[in-house]
Amino acid sequence: MSYYIDEYDVAVIGAGHAGVEAALASARLGAKTVVFTLSLDAIANMPCNPSIGGTAKGHLVREIDALGGEMGKGADKTFLQSRMLNRGKGPAVHSLRVQSDRRKYHHYMKHVLENQENLHIKQDEIVDITIENGKITEVITKLGAKYKVKAAIVCSGTYQRGTIHVGEVSYLSGPDASLPSIGLTDKMKEYGITIRRFKTGTPSRVHRRSIDFSKLEAQAGDDIITPFSFETTGELKNQVKCYIAYTNEKTHKVIMDNLHKSPLYSGRIDGIGPRYCPSIEDKIVRFADKPRHQLFVEPMGEDNEEMYLQGMSSSLPEDVQLEFLRTIEGFENIEVMRNAYAIEYDCCDPQDLLQTLEFKAVKGLYGAGQFNGTSGYEEAAAQGLIAGINAALSVQGKEPFILDRATSYIGTLIDDIVVKGCTDPYRMMTSRSEYRLILRQDNADKRLTPLGYKLGLISKERYDKFCEKVRLIDEEIDRLKHTTISPCKELNKILEEKGTSAMTTGQRATELIRRPQLGYEDLKAFDKNRPELSREICEQVEIEIKYEGYIKKQLAQVEEMRKMESKLLNPSLDYDTISGLRLEAKEKLNKVKPLNIGQASRISGVSPADISVLLIWLEQNRGEN
């Protein structure tokens, strides 16, 4: 028997990383919001690696922060070790990554939710939704409670019909031996939403005392720590070291001898796994020529003894897992506290979504996170933020918030999944962006903070500080353009030591900084009028000067892209009526329903010739589309 409880503007289904950001964004924009979770003790849980950031993922976290999200602040408050990855490469691919204290991160995020105005938290499972005239009107719990809603965001992660696999044993479960979510899948199918089956895996967690760290490679954090949040101030300190171990021929033999026991290879797993984060058995089969594989030994928290084995996810039986782990140098006496496992779960086809992350088939229903076919905490949080913003704006009758590919990695992520789709769990990488030189993590605030302020997620105080930072950067660049550095013996000695030519006449400071061998700091002693600036501002000044020419080229590419995206297509257009399009193109265009020519050009199966046909058709039917 069902019964009515309350009424909300926005309901968020799930309180993982997507759900947390969705709920906070919606509530902060003034929408009366409720977030449902299977367990209050699993809010913002890290069932896999307790880390935030990494290659390209660090970009997403800084963008979330620049827009007014919470993940970066939580990461700064609870990290154990911080490292900037790819420092040996250019600034476009520098990516921040921290090892987090898993429980402290959960407690931090739970407390933020609890203290947020306009937000209610409910421990319950949503098993049904009510749709009237193509629009969501209610969500219904397992106990029969009904909540009237104007919008709902599905952030069910890997819980939806979650199934754990370890060897020949399979059972319904969410990650970390939690409850699965069972009821919602069938209801969503009834309303025309395509449901697929994906898979991911989690490595073993082992006892610290059982590892011989003297046989492993130590991996220290950075001496100077860059925070994730642009608002974080004060000194940040590393608490721990991480370590690197390696598989060997014995490890590989144990796995290959038992490969038939893996549900991945016996055919018991139907779900499609992540291409870029394979299980250890997948790695050994796919890269049979490699004599060893790297794994990272990372702490789960400061006040517990669990260590996480990144790079060693597996669905092999428990005894086989123990056998192959003990072949690794330093793991001879390993004690496994939590076995590795694979988990299958239901997710949607993201091509059923609009750029706002609202379902095309159901007005007011949104998807975010792993339910949308992505992998990773950071990808989930980014989508949750955008879905939460758009749900709140929609119920308030305001224009939607859409980021394009040239504004952010968030825009690239969403454009990729809703336009191109994904056939396996989508992971963000810097190579996915054609504009990565202007989408650096260091300038995320410059790109997105004005948008966050306009939305109402960035405070006036924070925005004023941001504007002051931009002013100081611009003024220093302008000063350097008009500053001449004179040649002298001391400077020429530095130039020759760094492998660049000595000066014979004065040169603009900007010309010297553009030399690959030199940096802004190298000129400090020879620039008498240089102001005292923060490390962050100095970094921005150097990057903008060094890469000015490349940045201009990329901005020109952006303008071309935006010209294509200004050529709008009617979402209700029937592409079967356009002669000259190939059959495959008609099928793909009718499925995705692109909003413009730019989107159409990025759909797999739509060729340049098809785009030419569309452009001609648009010209001939101007005003009718």
Domain boundaries, the chain: 205-342, 472-548, 566-620
Number of residues assigned to the chain: 625
Q: State both tokens at 362.
A: 């159901």
Q: State both tokens at 209.
A: 């005392």
Mean pLDDT of 414-425: 95
CA distance 187 to 204: 35
CA distance 378 to 72: 10
CA distance 262 to 285: 12
Q: Please report the pLDDT score of residue 270 as a whole number.
A: 76
- Name the residue with tokens 């101007």: 622
CATH of domain 566-620: 1.10.150.570
Mean pLDDT of 94-113: 97
Q: Please report the pLDDT score of residue 624 as a whole number.
A: 63
pLDDT tens, 14-44? Answer: 999 999 999 999 999 999 999 999 999 999 9
CATH of domain 472-548: 1.10.10.1800
Q: What value does the mean pLDDT of the chain take?
A: 95
Mean pLDDT of 326-336: 98
Contact 341, 309 (CB under 8 A): no
Q: Please report the pLDDT score of residue 266 as a whole number.
A: 76
Is the alpha carbon torsion for 34, 39, 43, 49 positive or negative?
A: negative
Contact 421, 347 (CB under 8 A): no
pLDDT tens, 367-394? Answer: 999 999 999 999 999 999 999 999 999 9
CA distance 85 to 76: 16
pLDDT at residue 54 is higher than 70? yes
CA distance 524 to 494: 12
208 secondary structure, DSSP code: G
pLDDT tens, 518-548? Answer: 999 999 999 999 999 999 999 999 999 999 9
CATH of domain 205-342: 2.40.30.260
CA distance 495 to 526: 12
Between CA 397 and CA 406, with CA 403 as vertex, the angle to 5 degrees is 155
Tell me the pairing of strands 294-299 and 306-310.
Answer: antiparallel
DSSP letters along 398-421, please? PPP----TTT-HHHHHHHIIIII-
pLDDT at residue 271 is higher than 80? no
| Domain 566-620 in the same topology as domain 205-342 | no
Is the alpha carbon torsion for 317, 323, 328, 329 positive or negative?
A: positive
Q: Please report the pLDDT score of residue 468 as a whole number.
A: 98
Distances in whole angstroms, Cα of residue 377 to Cα of each of 20, 448, 613: 11, 20, 40
Confidence of residue 623 (pLDDT cuts 50, 70, 90): low
Q: Please report the pLDDT score of residue 477 as a whole number.
A: 97
